[in-house]
Structure 1
Amino acid sequence: DYQPGSEIEIQIKGPYTGAGLITIERDKVFASKWFKTSTTSTVERIKIPEGLEGNAFVNVTFLRAPDSKEIYMSPLSYAVRPFSISLDTKRIAIDLETPQKVKPGQILKIGYKASKATKLILYGVDEGILQVAKYKLPDPLTYFYQRRALQVRTFQLLDLLLPEYSLIAGLSAAGGDEDGTLSRNLNPFKRKTEAPVVFWSGVLQAGPEQKTFNYQVPDYFNGNIKIMAVAASGSAYGAHEGQTLSRGDFVITSNVPTFVVPGDEFEVGVGLSNQAEGSGDKAKVKLEISGAAFEVSGTSVQEIEVPEGREKPATFKLKAKAMLGSQPIRFTASAAGKSAKASVETSVRPAVPYYT
């Protein structure tokens, strides 16, 4: 990439001798220089104007000399070549400091700073969601300074402009008098699920001095959180990313029915993973199940031997009470002063639909 204000060197090979014009163009002519050569090959230089950013084009127009013997060739030849201009002055360096690991339910402290005073946003997303969505960290510098076409000719695009979207939406909007009728068809026993782990900071002020943004990690989440930052200041931009692993001493995964009816008896499968450091190969972990809307058939507490870094299964039998709606089933794992909690909900529904 060339620096603004520097000279660009051009090797010109023509079919004949003559004179020509070198211009630096994009949406207009930024610089120009005349030259003359007595050979078919020459090296010329032209200065890149200050303030020119992103990319531009070198246009060489070459006219055959009057005394040239190449009379069977076109008297005019030309060539255009693109070149890139350095955006270092427009780049904002962002530094993020994130802990390598946090536990579910803890405060995630994110340190951030930038190479210059700027506005910045922070946002984090469960990496599993990003993999499904194939989401990548945006690069605003590349977006706002993406390669532009050579547009020396003037033309208009006004007849291609779309109307204001809000006007289109207003004309096609449905009436609001059916909301009450539609709401009667909603499922009153809808099962509640855990909210995705996603956050964003809003617009923050950043600069060379480090600041901190706090995010409360949900107590149910175990996994990687990718943390991304995007900054903008005038015509300068920056982006950076990092990641933090959220993992408790014990990771509890459960498999429960989506819905049951009062009186149903069912089994709940639980996977218990021991991630407590230093617990050893013969760690005994106490696993307890509870739920106000369910009766536990048999024992509600099991002691399981789970080696460090391994996972073991467990099974509980439950019976649903006559408490309709989305009802939680809670799990607690504990050993040697360390503990972890997890909760999952299942829908308790009537055995038959409601008739009027």
Structure 2
Amino acid sequence: MPAELRPNREVEVKVQVKNSGADTYLTLAAVDEGICQLTDYSVPDPFTFFYGQRRLSLSSHDLYGLLLPEVEGMTTQSTPGGDRDFLDGVRKQNLNPVSLRRVKPVSLWSGIVSPNPSGEAIVKLALPQFNGTLRLMAVAFDGQRFGSAEGKTIVRDPLVLTPTFPRFVAPQDRFTVPVAVFNGTGQAGEFKLRLSAEGPVTLESEPLVTLKLGAEEEKIAYFQLKAGQGMGKLRFRLQVEGNGEKCELEEELALRPPVAVTHEISSGSITQKEPLTFNIKDRWLPGTATYTLALSPFPTVELAGGLEYLLTYPHGCLEQTTSKLFPLLYFDQLLSAVEGGTFTGNADYYVTEGIEKIEAMQLRDGSFAYWPGGNNSNEW
């Protein structure tokens, strides 16, 4: 096994199995050493698996869980404060819908390989973009015979790039990307660093930077960029050349929507002679839109969307809770229009819950705090 490998290449790893036979098979795994340390993973040991001590294989069960009544979860998305939402639905609505993997783990597996008659096998591994230590773990078996071995190797380029991109940007954001360049070629030289981008983003500084580095020296270059209009993934490619060596690195950055989650409600009437068409604008981020259609012979269905928004309003200060409760005193009959939606029960449930929430905000002197958990009252 070579002591050092380079990324973005296909490498061959030689595995030698002693005393192999016709039915000998092996597997080889190459995993980032950081992942192995975080998960406390070690090479599979067949001896421990087959001959290790076993705990008593008994499992216990009880009926205590059946003795207590079921406690239903909260049926509203109301939160105790403006920025303290704890319900999963509210949290997911406010997550960045542009998802990407900033760190791509390296975990390669050869599958089952049969060595040649001399017990030798050549395993090809396609190394991705990676700089670090790989742990190689081999396990071989032949009938009732088995064994394992492991080793470590370093994967790196003579020129190492370390960019620092933000986690996300919004449209029209200006941001700076520092890029550290390390010269591991063993001699001083002049190195050219270039940044190119794909997507709605503009490079406001020069795309090419020249750095003079000594042996084992590192310097940082800075690029100024501006995000454009739109949403999605921004892709960047960094290239550095010098002393006969070349290194490339690709990164992705999320360009998030400029606004939070948006709800749009449309309603109308339909007859046999007059069809109804909803012109839903194609301005939603693909994969994030959810549509709900409600039909009812009663005209109150037109208020269903407004009622649902009223019941699931995500903030809960004193004024907001009070404003939310007053309409519910008169809209009990409208719940039938949204039956089967995101909530159950009747208006009495929501009114009672709101009153209890207001009572919880009352202070010792009889006044009310503006937010749950507050100690100061506001006479307005």
- TM-score under structure 1 normalisation? 0.59
Give 1:343 shift. Answer: 1.6
**Contact 2:7/2:130 (CA < 8 Å) preserved in 1?**
yes
Which among 99, 113, 127 is matched to residue 16 of structure 2?
113
Which among 167, 185, 208 is matched to residue 276 of structure 1?
185
**Contact 2:134/2:152 (CA < 8 Å) preserved in 1?**
yes
Which among 257, 260, 265 is matched to residue 353 of structure 1?
260
Give 1:162 shift. Answer: 9.4
Residues 1:250 and 2:159 are matched in the alignment: yes
- Computing the radius of gyration from Cα coordinates, the structure with the larger value is 1
Residues 1:100 and 2:7 are matched in the alignment: no
Match of 1:152 in 2: none
SS at match of 1:131: helix
Match of 2:144 in 1: 235
Q: Which has the higher helix share?
A: 2
Which among 231, 234, 237 is matched to residue 324 of structure 1?
231
Pairwise CA RMSD: 2.6
Q: Which amino acid aligns with 1:232?
A: F
String of CA shifts for 1:40-83, please: whole Å, max 9, x gaps: xxxxxxxxxxxxxxxxxxxxxxxxxxxxxxxxxxxxxxxxxxxx
Match of 1:144 in 2: 50
Which among 196, 210, 227 is matched to residue 303 of structure 1?
210
Structure 1 residues not aligned, in runs of 5+:
1-97, 150-156, 164-180
Q: Which amino acid aligns with 2:14?
A: G
Question: How many residues get paired?
Answer: 229
Give 1:354 shift. Answer: 4.0
String of CA shifts for 1:260-301, please: whole Å, max 9, x gaps: 111111100111111224xx23x1111111112321112111
Residues 1:344 and 2:254 are matched in the alignment: no
**Contact 1:125/1:197 (CA < 8 Å) preserved in 2?**
yes
Moved beyond 6 Å, runs of 4+? none
Change (3 A) 1:349 1:209: same
Match of 1:213 in 2: 123
Change (3 A) 1:209 1:235: closer
Structure 2 residues not aligned, in runs of 5+:
62-88, 265-380
Which among 314, 317, 342 is matched to residue 221 of structure 2?
314
**For residues 78-93 of structure 1, what are the structure 2 equivalents within 5 Å?**
none
Give 1:187 shift. Answer: 4.9
**For residues 48-67 of structure 1, what are the structure 2 equivalents within 5 Å?**
none
Change (3 A) 1:313 1:147: same
**Contact 1:99/1:109 (CA < 8 Å) preserved in 2?**
no
Give 1:143 shift. Answer: 2.6
Match of 1:123 in 2: 29
**Contact 2:114/2:121 (CA < 8 Å) preserved in 1?**
no
Identity within the alignment, %: 31
CA distance, structure 1, for counterparts of residue 112 and residue 247 of structure 2: 34
- TM-score under structure 2 normalisation? 0.56
Q: Which amino acid aligns with 1:114?
A: V
Deviates more, 1:206-215 or 1:258-267: 206-215
Change (3 A) 1:148 1:136: closer
Residues 1:286 and 2:189 are matched in the alignment: no
**Contact 2:185/2:243 (CA < 8 Å) preserved in 1?**
no
CA distance, structure 1, for counterparts of residue 245 and residue 16 of structure 2: 35
Q: Which has the higher strand share?
A: 1
String of CA shifts for 1:130-174, please: whole Å, max 9, x gaps: 12222222221133123589xxxxxxx99x4799xxxxxxxxxxx
Q: Which amino acid aligns with 2:221?
A: A
Residues 1:200 and 2:115 are matched in the alignment: no
**Contact 2:97/2:256 (CA < 8 Å) preserved in 1?**
no
